């Protein structure tokens, strides 16, 4: 299913989008990857949604990516005798390990690891940052705080600790069970929540054992500081602006987003910009102008994908939300300013033969009448390197491995096609020409660029490039042996 845009759309599934009819409509409207949020929904519900996605994939004969998003270690206060209390600015408030129900002076925080890491002066944010506490004194089982910003605190509200790298495992016991479940089920991407260090990613990779690609969510200041190390061990990144905007001043988030997107592009690893992109469309069929500008900004920056959360999972207008993203993407990518921004922010990387091959493919395609860049990629590396170049012509990613095609659904500009196995470059060129014509990217009179790694089935071996006609007869006449 050829898209008339390069940026990909990730749609979260939920109560509003759990039927075959809605999921198929989301794909036909523009969704490329579906997110299964493991924070919501029992395993039976997740299994049912997964099965529907694969059925839609089969019926539409197009690869569809599936991203399972693990909940991560959630920090929450305990319960209150009255259900809620009002905290007043300047008042004292204690967090402790006492199991008694809370009141206006204290509440349980059942996470000893936090007390072990806290120091006087640290900030604690409650209920998405609506309440802000400052630690004045602390010990192994308590933290005496001053209320800096007051408000209503109620049962089991979330707690953020922005100033401290917490000695928490990135994967809770629930996460480990969910990881095994979704990997056995067969997802393509696994998103890790609240990553703080590269070791968190390596732990998940060891548990995954190659069954899914690892995507790290950047939503803590510690992850921003350790980003280069996290990126080096991740297969992809999500700029999760919800918690990031709670733990950091909101004005810090846009420049961080821009920096992270550029580093991911330079590393040829897909990056998703997520959270509150079209928030008003949960209840309204029309987005705000500011939301449209936010979506457009991520596309202008060159993000691989943009994501819908509650808009498609629980909102009243899931299909309209995907259509809005699709329309914004089409408008942005046909704007001449878009190409100016994309090309001025391209980081030249000529560190290997593969880098040189894909750079040459882009330059040839853009200076001649070539209609598409076709890349054979068993592991996805060649296609990712071509996508890093952000070429002006379409990218046709061909692979005999369906899992690779599904994972590439998250990568900028890739039109993924599952083909039969090829063992000679000439047959790869023939297959590329046939696919380019079938996808409507070229006619028999056009030229394409074909890249691959020879010998075939060797990951990361991109080493050959050919400009070829799309007419199969001309390919054989030019290279009869």
Q: Of 3, 74, 76, 211, which residue is the catalytic one?
A: 76
Q: Is 35 a catalytic residue?
A: yes
Query: Taking a C-beta distance cutoff of 8 angstroms, is the pair 456, 448 a contact?
Result: no
Locate 179 and state its tokens.
């990881």
d(CA 241, CA 254): 9
**Structure tokens that stand for 36 in this block:** 């299964």
**466 labelled catalytic:** no
Task: Give the C-alpha separation, 347 to 344, whole Å.
Answer: 8
Q: Which of 49, 217, 241, 388 is catalytic?
A: 217
The active-site residue out of 5, 35, 108, 466 is 35
Cβ–Cβ under 8 Å, residues 103 and 93: no
Instruction: Name the residue among 170, 161, 102, 96 with its Cα closest to residue 133.
Output: 161
Of the candidates 308, 243, 300, the residue with the CA atom closest to the CA atom of residue 281: 308
217 part of the active site = yes
Q: How far apart are CA 421 and CA 398, in angstroms?
A: 10
List the catalytic residue out of 12, 29, 62, 275: 275
* 85: its two tokens: 């209390």
Question: Is 76 noted as a catalytic residue in this protein?
Answer: yes
- DSSP codes of every residue in 39-84: TSS-HHHHHHHHHHHHHHHHHHTS--EEEEE------B---BTTSE
Looking at the DSSP bridge assignments, the partners of residue 145 are 93, 135
As a dihedral over the C-alpha atoms of residue 159, residue 280, residue 274, residue 33, rounded to 10 degrees, the angle is 120
Which residues are catalytically annotated?
Answer: 35, 76, 217, 275
């Amino acid at each position: 299913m050829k898209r008339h845009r390069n940026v990909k759309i990730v749609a979260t599934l939920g109560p509003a989008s759990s039927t075959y009819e809605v999921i198929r409509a989301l794909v036909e409207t523009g969704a490329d990857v579906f997110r299964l949020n493991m924070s919501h929904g029992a395993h039976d519900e997740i299994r049912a949604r997964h099965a529907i996605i694969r059925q839609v994939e089969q019926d539409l004969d197009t690869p569809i990516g599936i991203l399972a998003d693990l909940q991560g270690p959630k920090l929450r206060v305990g319960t209150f005798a009255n259900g809620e209390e009002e905290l007043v600015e300047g008042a004292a408030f204690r967090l402790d390990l006492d199991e008694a129900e809370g009141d206006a002076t204290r509440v349980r925080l059942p996470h000893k690891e936090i007390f072990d890491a806290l120091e006087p002066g640290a900030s604690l944010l409650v209920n998405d940052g609506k309440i802000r506490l400052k630690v004045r004194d602390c010990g192994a089982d308590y933290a005496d705080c001053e209320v800096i910003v007051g408000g209503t605190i109620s049962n089991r509200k979330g707690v953020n600790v922005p100033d401290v790298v917490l000695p928490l495992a990135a994967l809770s016991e629930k996460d480990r069970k969910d990881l095994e479940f979704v990997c056995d089920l067969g997802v393509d991407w696994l998103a890790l929540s609240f990553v703080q260090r590269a070791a968190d990613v390596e732990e998940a990779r060891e548990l995954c054992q190659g069954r899914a690609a690892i995507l790290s969510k950047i939503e803590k200041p510690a992850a921003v500081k350790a980003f280069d190390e996290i990126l080096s061990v991740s297969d992809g990144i999500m700029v999760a602006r919800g918690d990031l905007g709670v733990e950091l001043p909101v004005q810090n988030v846009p420049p961080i987003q821009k920096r992270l997107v550029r580093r991911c592009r330079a590393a040829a690893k897909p990056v998703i910009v997520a959270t509150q992109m079209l928030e008003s469309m949960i209840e309204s069929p029309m987005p705000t102008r500011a939301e449209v500008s936010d979506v457009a900004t991520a596309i202008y920056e060159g993000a691989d994908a943009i994501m819908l959360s509650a808009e498609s999972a629980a909102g009243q207008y899931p299909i309209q939300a995907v259509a809005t993203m699709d329309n914004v993407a089409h408008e942005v990518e046909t704007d001449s300013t878009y190409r100016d921004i994309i090309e001025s922010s391209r980081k030249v990387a000529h560190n290997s033969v593969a880098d040189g091959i894909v750079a040459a493919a882009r330059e040839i395609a853009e200076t001649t009448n070539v209609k598409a860049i076709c890349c054979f990629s068993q592991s996805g590396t060649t296609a990712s390197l071509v996508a890093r170049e952000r070429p002006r012509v379409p990218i046709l990613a061909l692979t005999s491995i369906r899992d690779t095609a599904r994972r590439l659904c998250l990568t900028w500009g890739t039109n993924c096609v599952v083909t039969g196995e090829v063992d000679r470059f000439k047959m790869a060129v023939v297959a590329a020409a046939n696919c380019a014509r079938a996808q409507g990217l070229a006619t028999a009179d056009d030229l394409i660029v074909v890249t691959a790694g020879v010998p075939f089935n060797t990951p990361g071996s991109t080493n050959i490039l050919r400009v070829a006609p799309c007419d199969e007869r001309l390919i054989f006449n030019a290279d009869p042996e």
